[in-house]
Chains A and B, each alone.
Chain A
Amino acid sequence: MRAIRVIGWSSYLQTLSFLRVKEALFFSLAFPIFLFLLFGYIWGGLDDLEYVEYLFTGILGMTIANDALYGFGPIVKNLRTNNLLKVIKCTPIPVMYHFTGLFLSRVSLMLFTYVLLLLTAGLTFSYLPTSEQVFLHLAGVALGSVTFALLSLLLTLPGRKGDENGFLNFLFFFMLFTCGAFFQISETSFLYSIASVLPLTHLVAFLRGETGVLLPLIAWMVVSFISFALLFRRTQVYR
């Protein structure tokens, strides 16, 4: 019982901490809505619901990748580099409870963004996904969150605090603009061949109900986890 309360409190405090950072709030909540409205009106509109539906899943995939990549690994790295992890480790509660709280906090925020997206889509384009699509979206949130959180842990492992920012930005924007989130990419292009192995491409395809993309996503999840577990103890923490 205490474990559940600790995880609940951890999740609440992580969410509170997140909501107090204006930049994070903007990029996680306002930015996806802004992009959805912008691209929706420019290339879609009320008479092209097919594009709105296409864009909706793209924006959702982007939000999942963004929140998990930037909201998990860098936070855990920060806990290690500024010694907060030491303080948590000295309490009688396993440190995994704290991380579980952090993960749940990020998933809660993603779900909140999803609800905002649904409301925006409904109010502006009169678009509402079917119940099967909603189920798929929620499954995508769960699957994508775990995959990108593990990838983020792995990518933020080496170097000093903040060293990973450049690479994370490059990787995120490269994945974003080549995964077909906002527009379709020619399957014959060179970029497509690279994008087709990246996890965001598979996540967006999964959210759009494509079959056969679950396996690559799970592969990314497993490889990230194993690599992280193997490298964690061997990586020196730079302060």
Chain B
Amino acid sequence: MTKTIDLTTKRVNSKLALNLVGVGFRRNDRWILRDVSFSVAPGERVALLGPNGAGKSTLTDLITGMIRPMEGEVSVFGDAFAAHKGRIGVVFEYTPLFDYLTPQEVSRYHALMHGLSFAQLQPIIDKLGMEPLMRKQSYVLSNGERRKVGLLLALMHSPEFLILDEATANLDPFIRDQCWDLFQRPGRTILFSTHHWEEAERFADRIVFIHQGKVYPADTPSGFLSTRYLVADKKVVLDRSALHLPAVVQSPHFFEDDKVYVFPADLNAFLDAVKLATPRLSIFPKDLKDVFLYLTQNK
């Protein structure tokens, strides 16, 4: 049996740092991810943005080859992840460590695997302020400290492609900024999953929304905030009891908890229409979270 290889596609894919085509993964009878397609170009920073349980970590596992997709294809630099391990750094959602070893011992071991000396790690250790914890056994480290060790292990070999699964969760804002100083390097490709809207908006060139195992077409943060998805640039927040009002029903809206978020095309006309029925309302600028919730509730 002969195998036909589409060389054109192969050449195009090899130029991409990451390419996912129709990827699906099922656990028991439930699809965790379905029909996921997106790509990341070299040097691009892409955020996977979605709430907890959206499938972000499963997607990271698929990209890093920890689990195999049941549908579709995943390629990293046009190949399997395993073929390019030395070019890639990965930080997983939880930082597992050997409980009875110190970060110093573990990082020496990882440095050896990457063909580095321990002295070469010193700049990262200094930058992350890790010196005081290098000789502590891992079981006494806090979540934030463990996360720093995870970052050290992922960054030590200056990878050209960084895959970060909630890498800055549990870190204070000051350390988070320092981390991003370390992550960003000219030409480095970064795929990071987060549920922090501000982080995605601030650091991503493009954002991929992920919700209940499905992804929405990627766009730039400003693209999502433009009039393409929601015309209005202001949102009106009302009590949920206002959900039945004709002006609310006729305008783009979504609800969360006990509030309704409305995006009227003509703000003044909308306020006139609802002011008698519901005196309590607030007005805010539209943000990324609004676009995400609007898209996912009105799919």
Chain B residue, CB-CB nearest to A14 = B98
Q: Which 10 A-B pairs have the closest CB atoms?
A: A20-B100, A84-B96, A92-B86, A17-B100, A83-B96, A93-B113, A91-B113, A92-B85, A90-B90, A82-B96
Interface residues of A in 86-102 (CB under 8 A from B): 86-87, 89-93
Can you name 29 A-B residue pairings with CB atoms under 8 Å?
A: A2-B112, A5-B112, A6-B109, A6-B112, A9-B108, A10-B109, A13-B98, A13-B101, A17-B98, A17-B101, A20-B100, A20-B137, A83-B92, A86-B64, A86-B66, A86-B90, A86-B92, A86-B96, A87-B90, A89-B64, A89-B66, A90-B85, A90-B90, A90-B154, A91-B110, A92-B85, A92-B86, A92-B113, A93-B113
User: Given A6-B113, A87-B92, A90-B64, A13 and B97 touching (CB < 8 A)?
Assistant: no
Contacts of A10 in B (CB 8 A): 109
Flag whether A230 is at the interface (Cβ < 8 A): no
Asked if A16 and B137 sit within 8 Å, CB to CB, the answer is: no
Interface residues of A in 1-48 (CB under 8 A from B): 2, 5-6, 9-10, 13, 16-18, 20-21
User: Nearest-CB distance from A74 to chain B (Å)?
Assistant: 14
User: Nearest-CB distance from A175 to chain B (Å)?
Assistant: 28
Interface residues of B in 75-95 (CB under 8 A from A): 85-86, 88-90, 92, 94
Contacts of A6 in B (CB 8 A): 109, 112-113
Contacts of B97 in A (CB 8 A): 84
CA distance A87 to B90 in the complex (A): 8
Chain A residue, CB-CB nearest to B60 = A86
- For A40-83 the 0/1 string (1 means CB < 8 A from B) is 00000000000000000000000000000000000000000011
Flag whether B153 is at the interface (Cβ < 8 A): yes
User: Nearest-CB distance from B113 to chain A (Å)?
Assistant: 4
CA distance A145 to B137 in the complex (A): 29
Flag whether B115 is at the interface (Cβ < 8 A): yes
Asked if A91 and B66 sit within 8 Å, CB to CB, the answer is: no
Q: Quick one: which of A2, A87, A90 contacts B115, CB cutoff 8 A?
A: A2
Asked if A13 and B109 sit within 8 Å, CB to CB, the answer is: yes
Flag whether B114 is at the interface (Cβ < 8 A): yes
CA distance A16 to B98 in the complex (A): 11
CA distance A72 to B112 in the complex (A): 23
The number of chain A residues touching the other chain, given as a range, is 20 to 34
Flag whether B131 is at the interface (Cβ < 8 A): no
18 additional A-B residue pairs with CB within 8 Å, beyond A16-B101, A86-B66, A90-B85: A2-B112, A2-B115, A6-B113, A13-B101, A16-B100, A16-B105, A17-B99, A87-B92, A87-B150, A90-B64, A90-B88, A90-B90, A91-B110, A92-B85, A92-B86, A92-B113, A92-B114, A236-B27
Asked if A84 and B90 sit within 8 Å, CB to CB, the answer is: no
Contacts of B27 in A (CB 8 A): 236
Q: Quick one: which of A5, A20, A87, A92 contacts B96, CB cutoff 8 A?
A: A87
Asked if B114 and A91 sit within 8 Å, CB to CB, the answer is: yes
Chain A residue, CB-CB nearest to B82 = A89
Chain A residue, CB-CB nearest to B61 = A86
User: Nearest-CB distance from A71 to chain B (Å)?
Assistant: 13
CA distance A90 to B99 in the complex (A): 19
User: Nearest-CB distance from B95 to chain A (Å)?
Assistant: 8
Asked if A84 and B113 sit within 8 Å, CB to CB, the answer is: no
CA distance A43 to B112 in the complex (A): 51
CA distance A13 to B153 in the complex (A): 16
Contacts of B112 in A (CB 8 A): 2, 5-6, 9
Interface residues of B in 39-85 (CB under 8 A from A): 61, 64-66, 85
